[in-house]
């Protein structure tokens, strides 16, 4: 998930506002809770229905036994049903009073036999009242149709505990969501703080070079103030640095808003970025060959200033990756098979391990001693969020080099 414009968030290929995302997450959370409640209730209801059917069968078998007391086969079925009952059951007289001896007329009921008979009976009467509130008793009728006994029952411990499972699950999910929200909010604040620091440093770095040049040109003007030719030449150089300052200001102004795009000849944009670096490569003390291979006929809908910034970032990373004196950087422009353009920036520098490559687009991650990990994440955002394209690592290998690819689809 990536943050897009200031008020929008990009999830895969969809772009939604923060408010829409919150609504979607709320609906998703409520749906999950609803499904959990429904599934649990269905299971509990089915278990409770099975227990009721078991008690009903038990009551019918007892009624039949009272009609035919000498039926051994029927007695066998009663014993089997009795053994399958795993929940509390109490047989009482037709008036609902427990029969004595109590242990012979109840199943799965923990009765404190150390109490007196009267206290045991009082406890059972209270327990029977609780059972009656949950379920009506089953009637056992004699051959003449009169009620001779009642069967009271309560749900098993499993059913009773399962009724609380949804609330436990909802509490755990809510706690997890709360912890996740706090954690992600903290991470986001730290990331935003890092981005602000990085943007400030990037701005200072971008502005520093032309400002330093302007100070130097001012000093030359003072020295050559009586030489019109030198003054004119210096003024032209100052104009270039002022234009560079204007480009930098426009780039930073476009971050956070959706910039306008126009159809441009891509080769011209790439050529400007290459020339900008060619004039500065000798200062680095390295012999770096900047090779171009452009298809001059290709055009694309681009924000020229931001796209040029991306190419400069990729070339700058290639320059920093070169740890040899005879480094080569290749900038290639070709047509995209499905329409659009592909720009590749390839170097023969130190390359990256798979672990480093998997993190290279993370904000704040850098392999440079004095870097702040903002150039590549910013470039990826410019290409993917603003141009609907992709910025990927095509190939990288330690000691061999790295190739980045910028794909911009046809409009």
In a domain, 97, yes or no: yes
Work out the average pLDDT over 154-179.
84
Tokens in use for 306?
């931001």
What global pTM score does this model have? 0.52
136 & 265 share domain: no
Work out the average pLDDT over 329-333.
94
Residue with tokens 């990256």: 352
pLDDT given at position 116: 93
pLDDT per residue as tens digits for the range 395-406? 999 989 999 999
Q: Where does the pLDDT of residue 106 fall: very low under 50, low under 70, confident under 90, or very high at 90 and above?
A: very high
pLDDT per residue as tens digits for the range 174-191? 888 788 778 777 777 776
pLDDT given at position 199: 62
149 & 274 share domain: no
Q: Which of 288, 273, 281 is nearest to 379 (CA)?
A: 273
262 & 151 share domain: no
pLDDT per residue as tens digits for the range 115-137? 999 999 999 999 999 999 999 99
282 & 405 share domain: yes
155 & 276 share domain: no
In a domain, 244, yes or no: no
Where among 104, 132, 162 does a domain terminate? Answer: 162
Work out the average pLDDT over 377-387.
87
In a domain, 334, yes or no: yes
Residues 6+ apart with CB under 8 A from 363: 191, 194, 195, 198, 373, 374, 377
Determine the structural domain holding residue 346 and report its residue range: 258-409
Q: Give the chain's domain count.
A: 2
265 & 157 share domain: no
In a domain, 402, yes or no: yes
Going across the sheet that includes 8-11, the strands are 2-3, 8-11, 14-17
Where among 119, 143, 162 does a domain terminate? Answer: 162
In a domain, 283, yes or no: yes
Residues 6+ apart with CB under 8 A from 354: none
293 & 153 share domain: no
In a domain, 332, yes or no: yes
396 & 276 share domain: yes
Where among 135, 162, 189 does a domain terminate? Answer: 162
In whole angstroms, what is the distance from residue 77 CA to residue 81 CA?
6
CATH of the domain at 336: 3.30.565.10
In a domain, 50, yes or no: yes
CATH of the domain at 150: 3.30.450
In a domain, 173, yes or no: no
């Amino acid at each position: 998930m990536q943050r897009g414009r200031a008020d929008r968030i990009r999830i895969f290929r969809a772009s939604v506002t923060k408010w829409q995302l919150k609504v979607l997450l709320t609906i998703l959370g409520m749906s999950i809770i609803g499904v959990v409640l429904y599934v649990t209730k269905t299971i509990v209801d089915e278990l409770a229905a099975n227990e009721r059917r078991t008690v009903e069968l038990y009551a019918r078998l007892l009624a039949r036994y009272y009609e035919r007391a000498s039926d051994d086969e029927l007695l066998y079925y009663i014993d089997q049903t009795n053994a399958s009952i795993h929940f509390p059951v109490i047989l009482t007289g037709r008036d609902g009073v427990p029969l004595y001896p109590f242990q012979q007329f109840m199943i799965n009921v923990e009765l404190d036999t150390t109490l007196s008979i009267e206290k045991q009976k009082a406890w059972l009467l209270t327990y029977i009242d609780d059972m009656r509130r949950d379920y009506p008793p089953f009637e056992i009728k004699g051959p003449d149709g009169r009620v001779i006994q009642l069967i009271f029952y309560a749900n098993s411990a499993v059913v009773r505990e399962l009724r609380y499972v949804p609330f436990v699950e909802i509490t755990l999910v809510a706690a997890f969501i709360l912890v996740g929200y706090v954690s992600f909010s903290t991470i986001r604040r730290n990331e935003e703080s890092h981005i602000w620091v990085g943007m400030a440093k990037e701005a200072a770095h971008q502005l520093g070079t032309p400002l330093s040049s302007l100070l130097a040109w001012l000093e030359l003007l003072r020295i050559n103030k009586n030489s019109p030719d030198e003054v004119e030449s210096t003024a032209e150089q100052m104009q270039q640095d002022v234009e560079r300052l204007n480009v930098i200001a426009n780039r930073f102004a476009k971050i956070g808003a959706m910039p306008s795009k126009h159809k441009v000849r891509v080769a011209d944009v790439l050529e400007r970025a290459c020339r900008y670096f060619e004039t500065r490569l000798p200062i680095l003390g390295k012999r770096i060959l900047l090779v171009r291979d452009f298809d001059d006929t290709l055009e694309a809908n681009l924000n020229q200033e931001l796209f040029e910034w991306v190419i400069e970032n990729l070339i700058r990373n290639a320059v920093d990756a070169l740890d040899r004196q005879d480094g080569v950087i290749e900038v290639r422009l070709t047509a995209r098979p499905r329409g659009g353009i592909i720009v590749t920036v390839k170097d023969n520098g130190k390359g990256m391990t798979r672990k480093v490559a998997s993190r290279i687009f993370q904000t704040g991650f850098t392999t440079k001693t004095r870097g702040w990990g903002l150039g590549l994440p910013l470039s990826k955002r410019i290409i993917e969020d603003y141009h609907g394209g992709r910025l990927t690592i095509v190939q990288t290998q330690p000691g061999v080099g790295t190739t980045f690819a910028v794909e911009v689809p046809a409009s």
